[in-house]
Structure 1
Amino acid sequence: MYSQRSSWLYVAPSSHFSLANIPFGIISTSANATLRPAVAIGEYVLDLKAFSQGNGFSGDLNIREILGDSFQQCNLNAFAALGRPFHRKVRAYLQEILATDTKYPQLLKNNTNLREMAILRLADVTNHVPMAIGDYTDFYAGKHHAYNVGALFRGPSNALQPNYTHLPVAYHGRASSIVVSGTSIRRPWGQVVLDPVAEPKIPSFTPSQKLDFELELGMFVCSSNQLGHPIPVSKADDYIFGYVLLNDWSARDVQAWEYVPLGPFTAKNLGSSISPWIVLADALEEYKTRGIENRTSYAQYLEQPVEVKEKSVLRVDLEVELISASGNKSIISRSSTRYMMWSWAQMITHHTVTGCNLRTGDFLGSGTISGPNEGTEGSMLEQTQDGKSNIMIGGDEARQFLEDGDTVIIRGVAGKDGALVGFGEVAGMIKPAVPKSTFY
């Protein structure tokens, strides 16, 4: 529908933030440090606090009443909690407001005073983590990544653990270290076994030398379920607010020593970077496809009808760019979210099968999304076979893992020019480890 409409604000055909998108985020500016909600459109943002205070929602009094003060808040939790049908209605209203042929020209397009207050240049705003995140769970839904890593350490015949095709594997991450794109990441210290063949194995306390990125998609939960009441898979999609790109930074050498027997810990809590604009679930509804086939006969509570399976995962094109401190750069990976085996609905249902209560603002990660071919791997661990080969940047710089000063940029987009539904990017630079004296 909106591929046939244009905005009265200029939107380049290559913009991720077309009229077909309307992603939500939290912004501030140098002139106004207050954190407040906004949506992105082309090279502009619509300040939703200013828009609502200027009676911008008077074209639909029902929306204005239900919104209340949601867009006066410093995060999107209050808006998210209003539910997916309402998100759909608000997004459609904003698309109408911003369309060239809007039926409400007096509310913004022809309202000079409100336009000056509410329309800001994207380059002039500072983005912030858009939700107050209570809990963070990272899944392992990318089967190619799970196989590649398993084959690397256990051999092809034992690459996937026996439980992998029976349930969505996950671990609980650290919500407090989720940061917005542009935030630098410190190289972490940790216990590392420098000589893995030595016996007995004695760890050294040292900065990680195998710092890695992970190419993921993240999802924010909008609704809560009562403790003790699982979410049926048939209703799980209603709990999805929207999606962001996710880089779950990983210290592979720290992880190798600490993960037995309880899984990732300090190797993962150094930081997880997300893109700043949440693409609403409905904006990507038409970009759904079938995920990786799972031939296992798994538990009925995870089973989805055939027609749902045909559109169970998103189809978003992903790429990873690596830029060195010297300015050399290369696209080192291209993948797609269609390489997931478990759907978001299945992940939500399994998360709550014990009666676990999800809450508005909870964050779920997909796990690393790798494709089946060379150049589609979603981590350096896979690309370099744990440091046994090199990634070349700009033709003359080699990497096995990330070095200080390196910047990783992840981008993701669906659709066609003129009506792209994209995330922009999530970027982070590696800074040197803190001095050892910090610990003593």
Structure 2
Amino acid sequence: MARNNTTFIGSAPTWANACVGENGFPGYSDYAKGFSQAATILIDLVLSERGLEHSVDEMVYPVCFNMRHSLELRLKGAISELILIEKARCRNLQFDLAGSHDIGNIWSFFAEKAQAADDRYEPIIRRLDTKIRDFAEVDATGQTFRYPLDNKSQKHLVDVAVINFVVLKRSFGELEEALDDLHRLNKFLCDEYGCRSFTKRLSRKNLFEMASILPPRTTWAADSFGTTKESLKKHFNIGSKELSESIKLIESHFELAPEIGITIPLLGIEEAYIEEFFSYWFKHHDLQSDKVPIEVEASEWGSDEMLEAIVNDTKRRAEVWEAVKSNLTPEKLAGLSALFYFARDLDFSESYTRIYELDLEEAKGSFVSSEDSVRSQYFHIFDKTNALHNILRSLYFLQKVELAERLVVAYGLHEKFSWLDEARQRTLFRKPEYCGYEI
């Protein structure tokens, strides 16, 4: 019969029950955060008491052990994220996460593989290198702050002698901040490489660089373009085949194609239809108040004013539907929906394409189902008070600036949306600095 554990169990009060194992799915980051917070709390406690209540000579060991173990976990988490990035590039990166404990070796592996994977790692690796080597030099395998003697009975830390808690706090804080930035970069690159806009050697960032160098597409027939291609192959250290692949990606990309004078059409929807949608929307909405037409005080429910508002709203919606339904297609419905929902993140134009493809499947299902289903899906976007806001932001992101400007001028939206100047200057959608490119 299995023994009942009396220590590692749940009990009252329930707020004190920690979720572990499959109950919470903790990973490297969760474990690292716990050890990191423990170290920080202990440091602050000792410093606040000036070492009178809790001796620095005793507390230094759990503090530094927690720091060092948190660092090991953070680095293993970074490697696991790098493995995912390389997997997205169809590369197989392997590392013994469970069996490796030497921080120096773990860090060397990550630094080498990360810089080979993407040059955007170089600044953060330089920023981390000294601090991580400090830990590797003093406690490479996690034994120094756990035991007074090593496995050869030699005393630890004889070459260090003194460790200052104020320095520990400052240095570990800087290390944690840099590791947080590394984690954000890893997450960003996981998403970016998931977009599949890269070649064997060139990242999405490199493609942006190439697009900025390429002359307008209309000039490529000139003899001088051959010289440009040779220069690009030398600059990016690629062959003719990869250069051709890169150029094809640029020519078909919403964010890159405009750099060479190519306009990519919106998905499923023509510009005239968006202008038509705006005209109907303004007949049904009061942009100044941001209220839906039938919104009234709760105390007025059942009043004549409320009933009249409902009747008028129903009439306007019926008029709109009669005007749009004959020309509405699954593609147009999905096109509107994609522009609206893409504005929530505005991260990569590849996301816009994915949203459109998913919305198109849903729209096709609605058209097969019934007119009521189609009508419901159309008004789900039409009734949104932020429909114009979202669609305009998506248009600017996708570099449909002329269309967006026509709509802004036609409906006097200059004062309504404070972000318009940023959108026009292409600063609204700027990526974080460590990503190395802007759009």
TM-score over 0.5 (shorter chain)? no
Ranked by relative contact order (alpha carbons within 8 Å, sequence separation 6 or more), the top structure is 1
TM-score (norm 2): 0.23
Greater strand content? 1
Q: Which has the larger radius of gyration?
A: 2
